Structure 1
Amino acid sequence: MIFKKLFRPKYQDPKPQVRISAIASLSADIPEQKSILHELAFNDEDVNVSLAALNKLNSFVLWYKMAEIAKNERIAKRAQQVVENTLFSDDESIMALDEKRAFVFECKNNKLLERLLKQTWVQKEPELVLHILAILNKPQLALPILLSSNDDTLQSALLVYADNESSLLKVIKKTSSQTIKKQAQDKLAKIQFSKTQHIEVEKGTRLVLSRLMALKDQRDYRKLVDIRAELDEKFSQFSAQFDCLSSDKRDEFNTKYTDLSSKLAILDAELAPLHHAEQHKRELMISVTQVTADTQALLVWLSDMLSGDISAVTLAQTEQAQTEIQNRTVRIEALLQETKDVGLFSAQKELEALRDALLKRQHTYNHLPAFQDALKQASALIVDFTAHALPVQVSDIESAKPLLHQMKGQWRALREPYQDSWPKALDIQFSTLQRTWQDTLKTLSSGVAQDINRFRSKAKAVDALIEQGKYKAAMGLFTKVSKWFYALPEVEQSRNARVFAQSSDKIEEIKSLQAYIALPRKPALLDEVNALITANISVSLRSSQVKDMRSRWSSLGVLNTPEDDAINAQFDVLIEQAFAPCREHFEKQQQKRVDNLAQKQTLLNDISTLAEQDIADDAVVKKVQQIQQKWQAIGDIDFTLKTELNNEYRDALAPFKKRIENYFNDNAALKLGLIKQAHDLSYTDDILNAVEQAKTLQEKWKQIGPVQRKQENPLWNQFREANDLVFAKRKEHNQQQKSVHTEQANVAHALFSDMQQSVKSAKTVSELDDAIAKQGEFDSLLTSLPNVQSASLRKQLLALLDEREAKLEALKYRAKQQSFDELFSILKRWETPEIPQDIEALPNHWQQSFKGQNESGMPRHKLTLMLELLCDVPSPESDETLRKEVQLQLMADKLQQGVEYDKSVLLKQWIQHGPVAQREQILLQRTQRCFIQ
């Protein structure tokens, strides 16, 4: 015993410190020493020894295994720390990326995988991310990765986890990839459509049925067929989606469709004959059109033949023309009968006109010599007409009209029998001559008429002036009327002599009374002028009265007597004295106008200076507005210069106004563009994005310059109304979202209460599984809720899951213990080779153990010791030596062959030995202690 202790290796020394120092001398590269290190790491009872051995082995796999199986808290914590430091380190010298990737694919630790999922290198590999998510079965972890990733492939794969409107809206708002945004929008549209699909299908189907019902009143066969085919197709499309409707609705729609189809089929049978008759009419009209075109082409050919030298037309050409005319006439006659049968009266008239034209041409070709003679006479008539001189005086009108009438009658007599064949050239020559004569006569006649009308109207004006007491104006106008009267032709003078005589008599009467009227009035008017000279009145009133007095003096006329000449001279002197204050005032006004002119010239110089400066458009607007305000503030100038100066001012400002106009127009165009964009935003379904864009448009609006004043407010009102629509939709959307979130929150609370109640009342594993069967639905509801609403529920869910996990472990342990209780109860009663009947209550693998044969060869005693070693259950002192041998064998098998024994397998082998004899009851009790505490 002493020698055994003396030659014992240091790594087997009872003192932990000796074993730790021995570990430093061992090498993990030598297989035998590596086995020793394995044994010390996993089976040494001292924590420090195990940690020293693990550090010496320096194997990530061993650390991870120890983290999984270690019973000692310190070892487990240290192993977990090493594993995490290795996996979460960016240094590839510690552990290569490929090794990490392989580990992730093999790892079953959900908590570790969940932490690894947040690593950057993991999120760069879509396959790895999807693998982890599939194991964790936590869809809520996918969305943050989706939103933070820039990999389209990964985002597209993770998009399957975004299965509600809230998460999809986040994706659409935050992702920069147009491809992913499009996929999210499509998926969102499908989700939204699925909510309203039954409404849309029902609405669309009813619309189709309504339109089919309206077709019963349709009398256009072509429309009936086309629209019915279109509606049948649409009904087929909607019927393919009838699964979303109730059976009653499906039966209702199918019944209505069948009934309407039957009625439309009857209507189709009624309208088809009418349609075919109309089709026949259309085809007949096509034939009429073709015959018309063909006949018109023939008429052109016949006309061209006759438009040249008729003497050159041969007999063969004449016969061919008559044959063609006959053929066309026969075709037209046949069509006339058909159009008459179907009642196409307009086509019938058209064909009759063509037939008449052909018959006229046939008449010409049948009388070709007479036609040639008529053409010669027509040419001679044109020569004769040309030889007559055009009328040039009013007196020539009476002789020219009979000549023109005679020429027109002779031409009509020659042309009438051959109207359609008459050469256009001859017609044009005669028409030109006729129009020239007619225009000349019209011109001469209109001149005389104008003179007569002028004379009569002005003679009436003379009478009107006399009646109004305006004698001087009447005498002046009568002088002109006299000249116009004597300029009229003698015939017209005789016709209007009475009117002229009446006006002349009235004028003579006025002249005789003029001296009588003027004598008493002029002295009285002189007294008024004297009073005005000393009157204290305003300049404007004085000027007005001077003007009035001059007018009244002038109306009294001039008598051409010495007394009248003297009083006229006196009036001129006095009226000038009365006007003197006005003249002085007007001179001052003239000086002001000169000053105003200088100021305006200065502004024109400022405009010229401004033209030489390079300034921005908005600055030009301000400058021009200032110049315009100054120009308007300056008073009047000399009226003789006003127009010229204003034109110069307008010309000087014109380039600036054009530039400002273009500037305003550009700004208006930009604002109209923003208005259109704002209007378009009101029609988009992505209201949140639309609001953001509306805010951007408002900022752009502020940056755009002004427009014309009359446009500014209307444009702003339009832009504001367009934005109000967008924000109103956002408000409505927010209300809807709030309602939806409230409803979803209520559903989530109810769902959580159900799960909570189910977990508390669950008494079996299956009931616990059923209790959280709706967790996926609950997670989906939480994902769709705002964070404020979902945080509390998520916290409660985690607590409930922990409670369920604890209860599940307790139930599994209880079930396992109960199963072992039943198993060992049966083993205690199993004394005969016959298999007990009550093993049917045991799990199937235990039942098979009763029926199987032990092939391992190990006796029950050794199996019992192995179970006690594996379960760390003490053995009787009598088995101490055998227990150590078995322990060494277990270690050797594990280190050399990698064999690890499972206590369930050993128990099956124990049972396979058969009935438990009386002497083995003690072994059964020892075995039972390994499974039932």
Structure 2
Amino acid sequence: MKLLRKLFGAKPKVEPIKAAPIPVAAIKPPKPVITLDAVEQTNDESELLKLAIEGATSQLRQAAAEKIHSREILEQLAKAVKTKDKNVFKIVKTKLDLFKAEDAKLAELEASAIRICEKLERHSHFEADSLFKAKLTVLQTEWDAMGQVSIIAQSRYQSALAACDAKINARAQAIADEEEKLSLDQQALQLAEEAYASLKQLAGDVYRASHVDELINANYELKIQELGNAVRLAANRQLPLDRLTKEFEHRKQQTLNLIDQIKTSGTVKQLTEKLEQAEDSNVVKSTQHKLQQLIKSAKEFGDELPETLKDAKAKLDALWAERHQTEQAAKNALRDFSELARKGLWAAEQGFVRKARAIQKELQEKRAQLSEIPKGIQAKLDDFEAQLAKLGDWHEFAVTPKKEALINQMQALATSNIAPENLATKIHELQDSWKEVSKGVQQQDDELWQQFQQASAVAYAPCKEFFEVQAAEREKNLTKRRELVSQLQQYLQGYDFANAVWKDVEQTLKTARAEWQTYWPVPRKAGNDLQKEFENLMEQLFGKITSEYESNKNAKQGLIEQAETLVNAADARAATETIKKLQAQWKSIGKSWHKEDQQLWQEFRKHCDAVFALRNQVFEAAKEERQAITAQAEQLIEQLNQFTTQTLEQLNAAKTEIESIKAEFVTLDLPKEVAKALQNKFNASLAAIATKRDSARSQAEEQSWTDLFNAINALREYELAVIAQTASDKLDAQKANLETLIANTPRWPTGTLNLVQQRLIKADAITSADQVTNTEQLHTLTIRAEILAGKESPAEDKQVRMAYQVKQMQQGFGQRDNSFDPLVLEWVALGGVTTSVYSQLLARFNNSRAQGVKN
């Protein structure tokens, strides 16, 4: 402390400022005394208004003002005391502020109600879809939370709500009408189908009628007409009954024709009985024709034949079969007789006497069984008899030259170069010809026979060697076939068919069959026995393949059945996953018979395609739903974006609506692919609203500071006018303007309004001494602000600043200003400073305050 005194010197002594004398008002004659009891006893607001204005004491005026509650009276009182009685005006203004606050609250409530009404009116123009009622419920919930609103808003809300309800009711009625129409259409369709079924049954009843009189008494025509009326009534509902109506009319006409036909020819039962009893062929034929016409008519119906017609048809078929059998037997007998005559004629012409005579005997036996012979066959028989008679005469003379010719031909074969196989064939043909020529000859020529036999032996010698080589080849092939059979036996016994590669097994079957065919020829008897053994082995191998193929076929049919059950599955996604697994199983199953395998695959693929088509439908529906949700989210974001252009007051009034939009957005199940982007846009819109609100608040805050300093500057000018003892009328006018300025200022920084009002109350008593003191304190306050902001003070104030800092250190180390708010409040309380000094200090103070806000 001593060091500080040495540096800065001793503390200067401050001379006390003497207070200016207070002027004393002249004493006026006393007025009639009105006590507080009078105020308490009266409730007449007109009397209270008079007391609040003219009351003798401030306490009395204030008490009277406190008891006034009528807004109209309070407004009259405010005008009367605005520039006269600050305390009463303060009371009145507080009460009026409550009214204004209530008005603002009601106005905000009314604005919110109007916005809900507008939303509801817009909503009433939309189609009543699945989300219509849910959105309406949200708006109703918002309205129910509103509280009391004006009758106009209520009426508007009720009108819009009624329109929405009308939409819902209209939609419900449309659905009900559609359901009723569908029900009536279903009933009409069922009625038409039942009429068609009844018409079918009626046709059966017609066939079952036992007598024409029964048919007439049943009055089937009237019944058919009634059924036709039922079908026409159903068709009048614009149902897809064209095919049914056409079929009904066609069957109706057929049934009417049938009734007319039976009335003319008789019933089926009558015709059947007549057919059984008739003996005349014409009657039988006529009855058969009538029954055939009835059967033909029944077949045109396309239905199963009635039992009566089935019995009649069976009897007709039996008669026709018997008749046909008789006629066919006669035709066959004639055909055989004619063919036998032809063969006899040919044998006779060729000189085969023995054969011709055998045929002659057989023809004579068959001739006795025939009732009559057609002229053509008889002529052929006559030619045969004549030719046979001629043959008997010269046959004996023609045989020897033929035999000699056959011997010459056989001898010529002995020296020919014909292949052994062909040579053997030629030898057999000549031997057959020798036998044929020898038939019917009474005596055999032994010498010619011996010559023919010797020539045959010589000619056959080359064939014998050839056939011995062939026999060796057959034995060799037989041996190879036996080896092949042995290999097949080993294959069947040793192959692991449980883990078989069936493609290789099938190839083995084909290869074995092809190899077997190459080992040919073989000895007949041994080859036949071995062929049976081979076929048995092949059947076993083929059976294993068949068993595997059938197993694969059954497995694939099982997969087809599973796939078919998935076609109408409720969960398309799960059905798709299951069908993919079934497809994988299908690939793991071996093949079956080619044609059946292709058919099974086509059926399986049809069900798979149906499931995938269902999945695509579900995906498309989900896509549309996601698009609708995305559009709804975009609409909500656009609604938020509209708030970014509104004022702070409008934003405050729309707080409930913004919260409602936020709540509605949160309830949306956003699609994954756009959820992040939409959420970011939504957050950006909310951030933009918050930025707009913060900016507006900042601007309002800044404006409140501007308004504050404008008000205290005007108050300072009024104080200077009081110090300058300006005329009272000018002071009153200046004060009235000042009070108006204060009253009309919408917003004040926290705690400043009360200080301004207190300073205004004290303004009338301010003195020059107060001016000096306030100037010094304002100067010090400016330096304190510069110290707090870390700014340098002007050179002329450095000494004062240092003195202040030392004083602060003396009073308490570390005690110093740490906020501008107390400094501002102190600034507001200091008045009467001259304009030249105040302007400089205010500029320095505001710069420091601005610097402090930045820091």
> What TM-score does the superposition give when structure 2 sets the normalisation length?
0.42
Give the greater-gyration-radius structure (CA). Answer: 2
> What TM-score does the superposition give when structure 1 sets the normalisation length?
0.39
